[in-house]
């Protein structure tokens, strides 16, 4: 019985996890598939580096192309990361009629509209379950389980680092920098956490989810992205006062005018299911026409959950190969994408939490509310915290009724020019209790 040969590109955390899952679950995989999945070669940056798993040194090479070109390799598993080298490797694999499994969300988000058609023309598969939400099988669910339904909108926590940081800040009252350092010490955050805390990693995942849910490709640069690094303990204390929690959400809605797509910290009602997603966990909440509300939850990162998703893809592609249908099944839910515009965030209608730091002088609060009112921003609540020491700024929190983001931005620009603010205004969007989630 023909074995399925795999060429592994990269042997970092996830690559090591793939080796471990394939070895530890070999009997179960063979029983499910009817044949063995065997790693025949592994491309690495350095032959001398210490490994997280023991592998036969004869499998290792620094020559990526030599792995892809081997005749006994059916599936190329791309775990290099980054864009340029990974893209070149995937395109070469497609040219050599090799199927591809990847966990590279940045590659697919930025170059999927080149790679997927190339794979379809070449009659090969690209599977990518591990690219979004790690071990949570959202890709397969959206592509297959909900294939008969129409998805209207979704909300997600898709970056475990950001969720760990915000969950810990809410629980402990510590500052952002302290919690981020703890996340790095625990291995939840990279030494350079910029992609995670800036929201860029989540934006890549959001682009893939929009492709699957709405059948449209979006330019990642058109997605509104806001990081979590400006949040302070005071914001979490106030969220609790109004029965809310702050979560790092991706939000997308399919509207008649275009696609609403945004990534930012959001105040959500404490009774929402997403409010209970703790630590480094991921979750995706989907609202669709026939099924209604559904949520998919679990470990979104880490060596073993991500490796499990990669190996599941290897098994699925191997099934396709054995059945003679590889390269003929849809890779993206939709055979062809219809391009629709991404809506400008300035047109968003939302409630807002605004935290001002203003001089402790008479008339400042009145000036704030006057300018907001001039721009059509209706105020639902105002809280003023007196300074602990004379001369320190006063913290003023304003919660608005629903307003247009563009109007709010104009109002804040006017306030910044006239009120002598001590620091930039903190703006957090508030999801209404009546929303689907």
Give 318-364 pLDDT, tens digit per residue.
Answer: 999 998 888 877 788 787 788 899 999 999 999 999 999 887 777 77
Q: What pLDDT sits at residue 366?
A: 86
- Res 47 pLDDT > 70: yes
Fold entry, domain 138-299: Dihydrodipicolinate Reductase; domain 2 (3.30.360)
Structural domain boundaries in the chain: 4-134+303-323, 138-299, 349-430
pLDDT single digits (tens) 71-81: 999 999 999 99
User: Is 205 considered catalytic here?
Assistant: yes
Q: What pLDDT sits at residue 391?
A: 62
- Res 421 pLDDT > 90: no
The sign of the CA dihedral 113, 117, 122, 127 is positive
Q: What percent of the chain has pLDDT over 90?
A: 81
Fold entry, domain 4-134+303-323: Rossmann fold (3.40.50)
Mean pLDDT of the chain: 92
Question: Is there a contact between 436 and 242 (Cβ–Cβ < 8 Å)?
Answer: no
> Which residue of the set 98, 105, 205, 281 is catalytic?
205
Q: What pLDDT sits at residue 388?
A: 59
What is the spatial distance between Cα 209 and Cα 220, in angstroms, rounded to a whole number?
A: 12
For the ranges 103-107, 259-263, 410-414, 417-421, which has the lowest average pLDDT?
417-421
What is the spatial distance between Cα 193 and Cα 184, in angstroms, rounded to a whole number?
A: 8
Q: Which of 29-38, 259-268, 296-305 has the highest mean pLDDT?
A: 259-268
Q: Which residue has the higher pLDDT, 109 or 435?
A: 109
Quick one: tokens of 120? 């379809």
pLDDT single digits (tens) 425-436: 999 999 987 665
Q: What pLDDT sits at residue 330?
A: 74
Q: Which residue has the higher pLDDT, 118 or 362?
A: 118
Fold entry, domain 349-430: Alpha-Beta Plaits (3.30.70)
Q: Give mean pLDDT, residues 10-30.
A: 96
Same fold, 4-134+303-323 and 138-299: no
What confidence category does residue 389 fall into, taking pLDDT thresholds of 50, 70 and 90?
A: low
What confidence category does residue 230 fall into, taking pLDDT thresholds of 50, 70 and 90?
A: very high
398 CB-near residues (< 8 Å, 6+ apart): 352, 353, 354, 356, 368, 369, 372, 379, 381, 382
151 CB-near residues (< 8 Å, 6+ apart): 142, 213, 214, 254, 286, 287, 288, 289
């Amino acid at each position: 019985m023909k074995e399925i040969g795999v060429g592994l590109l990269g042997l970092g955390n996830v690559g090591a996890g793939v080796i471990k899952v394939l070895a530890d679950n070999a009997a179960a995989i063979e029983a499910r598939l009817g044949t063995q999945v065997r790693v025949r070669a592994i491309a690495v940056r350095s032959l001398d580096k210490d490994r997280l798993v023991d592998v036969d040194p004869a499998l290792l090479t620094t020559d990526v192309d030599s792995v892809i070109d081997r005749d006994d390799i059916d599936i190329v598993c791309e775990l290099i990361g980054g864009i340029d080298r990974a893209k070149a490797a995937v395109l070469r694999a497609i040219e050599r009629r090799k199927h591809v499994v990847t966990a590279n969300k940045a590659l697919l988000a930025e170059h999927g509209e080149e790679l997927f058609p190339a794979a379809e023309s070449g009659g090969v598969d690209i599977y990518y379950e591990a690219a979004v939400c790690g071990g949570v099988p959202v890709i397969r669910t959206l592509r297959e389980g909900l294939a008969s339904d129409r998805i209207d909108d979704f909300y997600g926590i898709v970056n475990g680092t950001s969720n760990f940081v915000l969950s810990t800040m809410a629980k402990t009252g510590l500052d952002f920098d302290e919690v981020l350092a703890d996340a790095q010490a625990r291995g939840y955050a990279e030494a350079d956490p910029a992609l995670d805390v800036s929201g860029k990693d989540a934006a890549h995942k959001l682009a893939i989810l929009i492709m699957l849910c709405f059948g449209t490709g979006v330019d990642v640069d058109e997605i509104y992205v806001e990081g979590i690094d400006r949040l302070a303990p005071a914001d979490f204390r106030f969220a609790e006062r109004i029965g809310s929690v702050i979560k790092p959400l991706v939000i997308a809605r399919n509207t008649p005018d275009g696609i609403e797509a945004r990534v930012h910290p959001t105040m959500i009602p404490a009774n929402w299911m997403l409010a209970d997603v703790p630590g480094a966990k991921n979750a995706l909440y989907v609202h669709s026409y026939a099924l209604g509300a559904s949520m998919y939850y679990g470990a979104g990162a880490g060596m073993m959950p991500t490796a499990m998703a990669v190996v599941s893809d290897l098994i699925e592609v191997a099934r396709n190969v054995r059945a003679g249908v590889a390269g003929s099944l849809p890779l993206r839910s939709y055979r062809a994408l219809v391009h629709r515009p991404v809506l400008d965030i300035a047109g968003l209608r939302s409630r807002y939490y605004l935290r001002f730091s203003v001089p402790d002088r008479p008339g400042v609060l009145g000036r704030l509310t006057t300018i907001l009112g001039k721009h059509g921003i209706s105020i639902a609540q105002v809280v003023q915290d007196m300074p602990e020491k004379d001369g320190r700024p006063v913290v003023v929190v304003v919660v608005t009724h629903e307003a247009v983001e563009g109007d709010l931005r104009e109002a804040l620009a006017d306030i910044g020019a006239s009120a002598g603010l001590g620091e930039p205004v903190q703006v957090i969007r508030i999801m209404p209790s009546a929303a689907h989630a």
